[in-house]
């Protein structure tokens, strides 16, 4: 047997790929798995429509959600043609307020999610990747999760004026660390996972490992975290309104509407019901869609 019984095969990336699933695309599979589920697809559409509508409503309609009626006969009107959801105790149109409120709450929630996830992912990746940082980051994690969140919120509202950015800063200064920890754990387990080690042994370049194996995983986590942070942020805004640290009272937000509608709930139930229904549909949709997306993005579920 001599050496010329063998010839070196030329390095061919395409051919190398063919050992696996030749036509497997992570994103396509994720998407396919996701839309196979009727419920999540329906909710995604509903959610999209609601979000889009709330963002477009101020452009489309000219009703001022803050317009107070001086004529008291326009106060507390039950739903009719002029006011689809009725009016509140000062004659303000609840339909308009619902959409403006939804918009405020969604913007707030997205902003918080953006910072939470943005900072969380970067910090988490570093935390997982740079071994030396582990001890410090763990201590930071312990400290932050042990300071009651109300302490932050109230101190911040004293230092800054109560408003949109105060809530964003207060929420994000706490939210990022849990996401960072989650990402860190993922990074560690991914880094050590056998298929990545195997890929590396086979000589796959690092950028391919990152691009094909790690980043898709992280992106799906990011999307899921964003989706789950949103209902949480909306709920937090309502809660802050309850303890008197929410958005300014003349800002239209779901939290303010819920807290103001609560006082007359037994008398004029419609004032609370409709905003609440819209709110619940949005938060529930985000929650379910986020979870379903997480399932769909797990390659184990792709076959």
Partner 1 sequence: MKRVLTFCLMVLAAASLFARGAGETPDQYRTTYATEVKTLNYFLLLDTTALRVAANTMDGLVENDRYGKFVPSLAERWDHNGDFTEWTFYLRPGVKWVDSMGQETAWEVTADDFVEGMRFIAEPKNGIKNVGIIRKVISGLNGYYWDLVDIDDGVDIGKTREEALASFDSSVGVSAPDKYTVKYTLDNPTPYFLSYLVTELFFPLEKEFLDSVGAEDFGTTKEKLIFTGAYYLADWQRDKEIRLAKNEHYWDAGTVNVGEISLQKVADDSIRVQMFQRGEVSATTLQGDQVKALEGTKWAENVFLDEKSSVTYWFAMNYTSDNPEARAFINNVNFRKALYHGIDRAKLLELVNPYEPEALLRNTIIPEDVIFDENGQDYTDYPLLKEVKERRTYDRELAQEYFQKAVDELTDGNGNIKGVSPGTVDMLPIAEIKADGKLPVQILFVHPTDPTKTREALLLQEMLRDTFDGQVELVLGQYVDDKYNDTIKPRRFDLLYDSFSFKYADPMAQLGRLVTDGSVNDGQYSFPEFDKLVEEADGKTSLTDRYEIFSRAERFLIDNAVIIPWQAGGGAYSMDTVVPFSTPRGGFGVTRFKYKGMILQQNPITADQYKMLEKAFRADLAPN
Partner 2 sequence: MSRYIVKRILQSLLTVVIVVIAVFLLLRLMPTSGYFTRDDYINMTEEMRSAYLRNLGITDPAVIQLQRFFAGVFRGDLGRSITVYPKLPISTILAEKVPYSLWFGLASMFISVTLGFGLGILMARFKDRWPDHLGTAYVVAVRAIPSLIYLFLIQIWVTGIMRWPMVFYEDRPVTWILPVVSLSLTGIAWYGIWLRRFMVDEENRDYIKFARSKGLSQKYIMRHHVLRNAVVPLVQYLPVQLLLTIAGSLIIESIYSIPGMGGLLVYAIKQQDNNLVQVLVLIYAVLGVAGVFVGDLLMAFVDPRIRLAEKKKKKEALRV
Q: Which residues bind partner 1 (CB under 8 A)?
A: 66-68, 70, 72, 75-76, 89-90, 157-158, 161-162, 244, 248-250, 259-260, 262-268
C-alpha dihedral (131, 135, 140, 146), degrees to nearest 10 = 130
Q: Which residues pair with 93 in a beta bridge?
A: 87
Among the listed residues 15, 52, 147, 249, the single contact to partner 2 using CB under 8 A: 147
| Minimum separation from the CB atom of position 147 to partner 1 (A) | 21
Q: How many CB atoms lie within 10 A of CB 58?
A: 15
**Does residue 301 interact with partner 2 by CB under 8 A?**
no
Q: In the block, which residue shows the tokens 């963002």?
A: 55
158 binds partner 2, rule: CB under 8 A: yes
Rule CB under 8 A: is residue 25 a binding residue for partner 2? no
CA–CA separation, 109 and 114 (whole Å): 8
DSSP designation for 132: T
- Closer of 72 and 185 to partner 2 (Cβ): 185
Burial class (CB in 10 A: 0-12, 13-18, 19+), 294: middle
CA–CA gap between residue 225 and residue 45 (Å, rounded): 19
- Residue 148 as a binder of partner 2 (CB under 8 A): the answer is yes
| Spatial separation of the C-alpha atoms in residues 70 and 86, rounded to whole Å | 16
Contact with partner 2 (CB under 8 A) among 262, 264, 294, 302: 262
Residues that contact partner 2, how many (by CB under 8 A):
39
List the one residue out of 117, 33, 24, 38 whose CA is nearest residue 295: 33
Tell me: does residue 143 bind partner 2 (CB under 8 A): yes
| Torsions phi, psi for 198 (to 5 deg) | -60, -45
Cα(256)–Cα(241) distance, integer angstroms: 6
Question: Which of partner 1, partner 2, none does residue 110 bind (CB under 5 to 8 Å by kind)?
Answer: none
Q: Whole-angstrom Cα distance, residue 294 to residue 137? A: 26
222 binds partner 2 (CB under 8 A): no
Figure out which of the listed residues 45, 280, 298, 301 binds partner 2, where binding follows CB under 8 A: 280
User: If we measure between CA atoms, which residue out of 103, 100, 78, 102 comes closest to residue 91?
Assistant: 78
Among 53, 75, 110, 182, binds partner 2 (CB under 8 A): 182
Residue 283 binds which entry of partner 1, partner 2, none, with Cβ cut-offs from 5 to 8 Å by kind? partner 2
Name which of 42 and 72 has its Cβ closer to partner 2. Answer: 42
Q: C-beta of 166: minimal distance to partner 1 in Å? A: 10
Q: Which residues bind partner 2 (CB under 8 A)?
A: 139, 142-143, 145-148, 150-151, 154-155, 158-159, 178, 181-182, 185, 189, 231, 234-235, 238-239, 242-244, 258-259, 262, 265-266, 276, 279-280, 283-284, 286-288
């Amino acid at each position: 047997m001599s050496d010329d019984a063998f010839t070196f095969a030329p390095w061919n990336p395409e051919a190398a790929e063919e050992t696996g699933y030749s036509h497997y695309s992570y994103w396509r599979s994720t998407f396919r798995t996701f839309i196979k589920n009727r419920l999540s697809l329906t909710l995604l559409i509903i959610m999209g429509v609601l979000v889009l509508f709330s963002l477009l409503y101020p452009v489309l309609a000219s009703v001022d959600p803050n317009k107070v009626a001086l004529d008291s006969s326009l106060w507390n009107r039950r739903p009719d043609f002029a006011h689809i959801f009725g009016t509140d105790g000062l004659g303000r149109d609840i339909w308009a307020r619902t959409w403006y409120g939804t918009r405020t709450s969604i913007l707030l929630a997205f902003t918080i999610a953006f910072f939470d996830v943005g900072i969380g992912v970067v910090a988490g990746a570093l935390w997982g990747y740079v071994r030396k940082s582990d001890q410090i980051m763990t201590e930071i994690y312990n400290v932050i999760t042990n300071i009651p969140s109300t302490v932050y919120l109230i101190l911040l509202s004293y230092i800054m004026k109560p408003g949109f950015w105060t809530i964003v800063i207060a929420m994000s200064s706490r939210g990022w660390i849990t996401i960072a920890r989650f990402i860190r754990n993922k990074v560690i387990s991914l880094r050590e996972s056998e298929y990545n080690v195997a890929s590396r042994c086979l000589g796959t370049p690092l950028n391919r490992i990152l691009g094909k194996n790690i980043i898709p995983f992280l992106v799906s986590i990011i999307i899921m975290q964003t989706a789950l942070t949103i209902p949480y942020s909306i709920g937090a805004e309502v809660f802050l309104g309850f303890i008197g640290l929410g958005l300014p009272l003349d800002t239209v937000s779901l939290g303010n509407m819920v807290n103001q509608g609560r006082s007359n709930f037994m008398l004029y139930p419609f004032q609370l019901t409709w905003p609440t229904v819209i709110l619940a549909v949005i938060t529930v949709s985000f929650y379910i869609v986020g979870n379903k997306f997480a399932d769909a993005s797990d390659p184990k579920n792709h076959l």
